[in-house]
Amino acid sequence: MIGTTYKCEICGTESAAPVRWFVIHCSDARLAIYKWDQVQADKPHALHFCGEGHAQVYISRWFESFCGSPVMLGGK
């Protein structure tokens, strides 16, 4: 598609040719990571990251939210 640009979820960098980017599909129970793939990138709930570092930032946040439930924290 001509003119399509993708935006990094972490830093906001935009690119029309994000060949070394990563795509993540995420839900509460599952996290799926793809090397840049046009088909996966265009899925409705896909998240886009400009490189490994920013994909890792997102993954870390996901782990924190996943493991940060009241049960895992042992109550207040």
Q: Print the binding letters for residues 16-55 with Zn ion: x by CB under 5 A, - otherwise.
A: ----------------------------------x---x-
| Nearer to Zn ion (CB atom), residue 23 or residue 54 | 54
Q: Residue 36: which of 53, 54, 49 has the closest Cα? A: 49
Binding-site member from 8, 24, 47, 55 for Zn ion (CB under 5 A)? 8
Query: What gap in Å lies between CA 8 and CA 67, rounded to an integer?
Result: 25
Phi first, then psi, for residue 3 (nearest 5°) are 90, 0
Report phi then psi at 31, rounded to 5: -130, 125
Q: Using CB under 5 A, pick the residue from 6, 10, 18, 47 that binds Zn ion.
A: 10
Q: Which residues bind Zn ion (CB under 5 A)?
A: 8, 10-11, 13, 50, 54
